[in-house]
């Protein structure tokens, strides 16, 4: 029997950087155990943070991501016109668009079916981004 679930969850505030949030998301979705097979769509409801899936073991990977994006999209560029919310704001919007605002992850036997070394990252691009709202939609059986 086909089922749908849609739920908004809140992630704890994080400092600027790339943070593993797989467990935090899964803990807020006890309903996931009702799905034997399906797809979970994750959408972040913000324009200055993003989501991605990547290495979940070595914290150096997350630091390298932050270093790379800060180098690729620097603050205080003279050509930025949107400057009202601080030096980190326009770069945060650009980084968010480069990474993305949503993920689709398979669900198998009530669990996220990620690879052995994969985890969900919250990519916080603001110095003080605050808590982040995530809309989860699951469809399956």
DSSP state of 46: -
> What order of strands is seen across the sheet that includes strand 111-112?
3-11, 132-140, 37-44, 102-108, 111-112
pLDDT of residue 122: 98
Domain count, the chain: 1
* Secondary structure in 3-state letters for 57-112: CCHHHHHHHHHHHHHHCCCCCCCCCCCCCCCCHHHHHHHHHHHCCEEEEEEECCEE
CATH classification at residue 7: 2.60.120.460
Three-state DSSP at 44 gives strand
Burial of 13 (0-12, 13-18, 19+ CB in 10 A): exposed
Taking the model in full, what pTM does it have?
Answer: 0.96
pLDDT of residue 108: 98
pLDDT of residue 5: 98
pLDDT of residue 20: 98
pLDDT of residue 3: 98
> Structural domain of residue 11, as residue ranges?
3-140
Residues of the chain with pLDDT under 70: none
pLDDT of residue 67: 98
Spatial separation of the C-alpha atoms in residues 127 and 119, rounded to whole Å: 23
pLDDT of residue 117: 97
């Amino acid at each position: 029997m086909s089922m749908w679930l849609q739920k908004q969850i809140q992630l704890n505030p994080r400092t600027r950087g790339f943070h593993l949030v797989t467990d935090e998301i899964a803990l807020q979705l006890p309903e996931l155990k009702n799905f034997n097979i399906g797809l979970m769509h994750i959408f972040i409801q913000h324009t200055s943070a993003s989501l991605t899936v990547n290495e979940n073991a070595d914290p150096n990977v997350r630091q390298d991501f932050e270093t790379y994006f800060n180098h690729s999209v620097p603050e205080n560029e003279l050509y930025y016109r949107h400057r009202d919310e601080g030096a980190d704001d326009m770069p945060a919007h650009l980084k968010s668009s480069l990474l993305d605002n949503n993920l689709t992850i398979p669900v198998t036997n009530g669990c996220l079916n990620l690879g052995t070394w994969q985890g969900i990252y919250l990519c916080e691009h603001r110095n003080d981004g605050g808590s982040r709202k995530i809309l989860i939609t699951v469809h399956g059986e």
